[in-house]
Amino acid sequence: KQEVTQIPAALSVPEGENLVLNCSFTDSAIYNLQWFRQDPGKGLTSLLLIQSSQREQTSGRLNASLDKSSGRSTLYIAASQPGDSATYLCAVNSNSGYALNFGKGTSLLVTP
Amino acid sequence: DARVTQTPRHKVTEMGQEVTMRCQPILGHNTVFWYRQTMMQGLELLAYFRNRAPLDDSGMPKDRFSAEMPDATLATLKIQPSEPRDSAVYFCASGLNTASEAFFGQGTRLTVV
């Protein structure tokens, strides 16, 4: 069964800092990996989708990388802002399961 | 603006009552998922449909939970009878196909007292 781990569980940074969120998974046979953002009491918003054949995807200040062989993905947030405060979730779509397996998330707080 | 729509957004019910949650996937999406989110367990897959056929419901307590897709525009998740341990946020998500981006609804927050 695919296991997805996110480190750190919580992170607090001052505004303007660049930061990296980490995601690791145990089974490298994946279709894709997706990063989501969740605000308190809200649903999940898709941020980036990386197919298994890709190495990275970028959207604005966000950059996600994928190293399938080592079972790792990182989400890089440049020039963080207080509005980036949320929980960030990593989810892996495995060849065997066809549904997303989620990590527990990283709770990010960006202070003014 | 295409989005996954879930109703109701909030539900408070007494133990033993039947609960029905509804989801309207994005038009044209052929995969639908039901997830449950709790503080302790995070997001857990309950059921997965492709072209309205259930492919995986191994995460669902079979004795009390049931999931169906009566048609391509409606997915339902029923709990009967409900128990306090079912209190959680239930999310529906849809995607174009198995390996495409998944889009989530706003969730149904269920409280069973």
User: Token pair for residue B12?
Assistant: 């408070």
- Residue B37 Cα to chain centre, angstroms: 11
Which 8-state DSSP code applies to residue B39? T
Q: Quick count: other Cβ atoms within 10 Å of Cβ B94?
A: 25
Q: Work out how many CB contacts closer than 8 A connect A with B.
A: 50
Q: What is the amino acid identity at position B15? A: M
Cα dihedral angle (A22, A27, A29, A30), rounded to 10 degrees?
-40
Which chain B positions have a beta carbon within 8 Å of A93's beta carbon?
A: 98-99
Distance between start and end Cα atoms, chain A: 41
Query: Is the CB of residue B107 less than 8 Å away from at least one CB of chain A?
Result: yes
For A64, residues 6+ apart whose C-beta sits below 8 A from its C-beta are: A33, A35, A47, A48, A50, A56, A57, A58, A73, A74, A75, A76
Query: Is the CB of residue B74 less than 8 Å away from at least one CB of chain A?
Result: no
Which chain A positions have a beta carbon within 8 Å of B107's beta carbon?
A: 42-43
Q: How far is CA B94 from CA A11, B11, B25, B26, B53, in A?
A: 30, 22, 6, 7, 14
The confidence band for B100, taking pLDDT boundaries of 50, 70 and 90, is confident
Distance from CA of B42 to the nearest CA of A (A): 6
What's the pLDDT score for residue A99?
81
Distance from CA of B61 to the nearest CA of A (A): 18
Distance between start and end Cα atoms, chain B: 36
Distance from CA of B107 to the nearest CA of A (A): 6
Nearest to A49 among B45, B101, B104 (CB): B101
Cβ(B20)–Cβ(B78) below 8 Å:
yes
Q: How far is residue B113's CA from residue B111's CA, in Å, rounded to a whole number?
A: 6
**What tens digit of pLDDT does each residue of B14-67 get?**
999 999 999 999 999 999 999 999 999 999 999 999 999 988 888 888 899 999
Which chain A positions have a beta carbon within 8 Å of B48's beta carbon?
A: 98-99
For B91, residues 6+ apart whose C-beta sits below 8 A from its C-beta are: A43, A44, B6, B34, B35, B36, B37, B43, B104, B105, B107
Which of B45, B46, B104 should one mutate to test binding to chain A, selecting the residue with the greatest count of A CBs within 10 A? B104
Ordered per-residue pLDDT tens for chain A, 112 residues: 889 999 999 999 999 999 999 999 999 989 899 999 999 989 999 999 999 999 999 999 999 999 999 999 999 999 999 999 999 999 999 876 668 999 999 999 999 9
Distance from CA of A106 to the nearest CA of B (A): 12
For B63, residues 6+ apart whose C-beta sits below 8 A from its C-beta are: none
Strand-pairing partners, residue B24, are B5
What's the pLDDT score for residue B56?
81
Any idea how long chain B is? 113
Token look-up 């960030």 returns A88
